[in-house]
Amino acid sequence: MSSAPASAAKPSWFQRFLSVIERVGNLLPNPSTLFALIAALVVLLSWLFNRMGVSIIHPATGQTMHVVSLLNVEGLQRMLLNMVPNFVGFPPLGTVLACLIGIAVAERTGLVTAGLRLIVLTTPRRWLAAIVVLGGILSHSGADVGYVLFIPLGAAMFHAAGRHPLAGLAAAFAGVSGGFSANIVLGTIDALLAGITQASAAVVRPGITVNPAANWYFLIAASVLITVVGTWVTEKIVEPRLGPYTGDAKPEEIKPLDAAEKRGLLWAVLATLGVTALVLWGTLTEGGFLLDPKNPTFLGSYFIRGLIFFIFFYGLVAGLAYGLGARTIRNDNDVIRGMDASVSTMGSYIVMAFFAAQFLAYFNWTNLGTVMAVKGAGVIKDLNLQDSPTLLMVSLVLFTALINLVIGSASAKWTLLAPIFVPMFMLLGYTPELVQGAYRVGDSCTNIITPLNQYFPLILGFAVRYVPKTGIGTMLAMMIPYSIAFLIAWTLMLVAWIALGLPVGPGAGLFLPPQ
């Protein structure tokens, strides 16, 4: 098959469906505006349900809980006085910024770029597709570097190897975006989602802790799965459909690492090994300085409980070591400017976090989350679904995958869904870590088939370099096979994981122990 864009053919029913989704999604306001409107809706609903006398009996305490109205003088005063504390205390805000500042050093000094280039340059051609997919997955540790760096690099690698560049672009896009919640190395998104999950779980169990490694075991296994499935789709479906490349673009030269970059990578590896040795000494030796005397285990250590610090510290140390070795850092101003540049890109997130924090606070104050969770759990019990974690989690996966078509931001969706689903499933006996894991499956699989993905226009621009007539239909035709395959395979893996009773992360089982 030629490389003519698939959009030239008559649109299929599924492509027409996605066009409808695109039009509907474009009607939605900016995420910040959306949270502001939902916060206002919570205030109105609190008044309405309070007037209706809606209440529940809390299953944990046995106490009667009523919906608290915020549409009165007392509610207004509470909102006025707590606007800033709500924002400052929003769990993911400090977590995300702290992680980003450390990772920014690794990204800005060139460590992430050099590492990714080394991976693809040392790969035999027969493993090229697998490494491009896996490299996309690993690129998440560098924030959004995968979108702006690795996707065009994947296309260039395939082109240089005499293969269709759009197949390389599709494989990289599948790894970066379709495998968004699969990774071996923990990153900013893990900390961000854990903070939202913890805040939602506290409605049922105050003081509960959900750490950023909550889904780590599950994500490591998913990395292998997505790499295998993504490689198969690339080589068996996408690349044969595209056929040989007949475009005018000349293969781009992938420059090998120079002496300075190699030296920087060596220094970064040595620094990382040094920090790792320090962590192991502090957690695995008797009386280690990272062990809590009250709970001297690895899972109870200050390393796990302070994982945010170590994500920051690893990024900082490795980035500094690379920068000094590669001579990309001359003084402290270079380091601080790199941090400044990365944090400045978070402006829209900080604005969204302000309004999301108000929504979450209002939702908790009014008891709406608890009431909805208890009543939802009651409905599930009436339907005799409470003893079927597989059915419940698969339903959450599919629901999230559908919502993902119109709301692209992972944190925005989870901020909306977590206050409802986390307490609801906890009341049925399931851990917040399991619920978060199921959410992440659905959140990843449909990222690559929605034009509402904020990076979709950028990816389309990369594709046009090789096939000028590439349109949305071309991209969707390439990416739909990945989306379907990921959704089926990853959901089956989740089902098998639950059936085997495996923990989804360190200390994160599937079922809540009784209090």
Looking at per-residue pLDDT, the higher value among 196 and 97 belongs to 196
Question: With bands split at pLDDT 50, 70 and 90, how would you rate the model's confidence at 41?
Answer: very high
Name the average pLDDT for the chain.
Answer: 82
List, for residues 176-220, the tens digit of each pLDDT value. Answer: 888 888 888 777 678 788 888 998 898 888 888 898 889 999 999
Do residues 69 and 47 make contact, with C-beta atoms less than 8 angstroms apart? Answer: yes
List, for residues 346-391, the tens digit of each pLDDT value. Answer: 676 788 788 888 988 898 899 887 787 677 766 766 766 666 788 8
CA distances 114 to 111, 254, 332, 503, Å, are 5, 12, 21, 34
List, for residues 488-503, the tens digit of each pLDDT value. Answer: 999 999 999 999 999 9
Report pLDDT for 141: 59
Q: Which of 99-103, 117-121, 208-212, 354-358 has the lowest mean pLDDT?
A: 117-121
Question: With bands split at pLDDT 50, 70 and 90, how would you rate the model's confidence at 1?
Answer: very low
| Per-residue 3-state assignment (H helix, E strand, C coil) for 150-166 | HHHHHHHHHHHCCCCHH
pLDDT at 19 over 60: no
Question: With bands split at pLDDT 50, 70 and 90, how would you rate the model's confidence at 448?
Answer: confident
The mean pLDDT value for 313-321 works out to 91
Q: In whole angstroms, what is the distance from residue 68 CA to residue 49 CA?
A: 8
- Rounded to 10 deg, the angle between the 111-121 and 307-326 helix axes is 80
CB atoms closer than 10 angstroms to residue 216: 22
pLDDT at 431 over 80: yes
CA distances 168 to 92, 93, 150, Å, are 34, 35, 10
Report pLDDT for 4: 43
DSSP-derived secondary structure letter, 56: E
What burial letters (b/e) apply to 136-170, b meaning 16+ CB within 10 Å? bbbbbbbbbbbbebbbbbbbbbbbbeebbbbbbbb
Query: In sequence order, what are the beta bridge partners of 430?
Result: 511
Report pLDDT for 345: 61
List, for residues 140-154, the tens digit of each pLDDT value. Answer: 655 556 676 678 878
List, for residues 154-169, the tens digit of each pLDDT value. Answer: 888 788 777 899 999 9
State if pTM tops 0.85.
Answer: no
Domain spans in the chain, listed from the N-terminal domain onward: 6-500
Q: Closest Cα partner for 472 from 89, 129, 16, 106?
A: 16
DSSP-derived secondary structure letter, 71: S
Report pLDDT for 8: 46
Query: What tokens were used for 325?
Result: 């070795």
List, for residues 457-500, the tens digit of each pLDDT value. Answer: 678 778 888 888 877 777 888 888 899 999 999 999 999 999 99
Chain centroid, CA 169 distance in Å = 20
The mean pLDDT value for 14-29 works out to 58
Q: Closest Cα partner for 489 from 237, 217, 223, 187?
A: 223
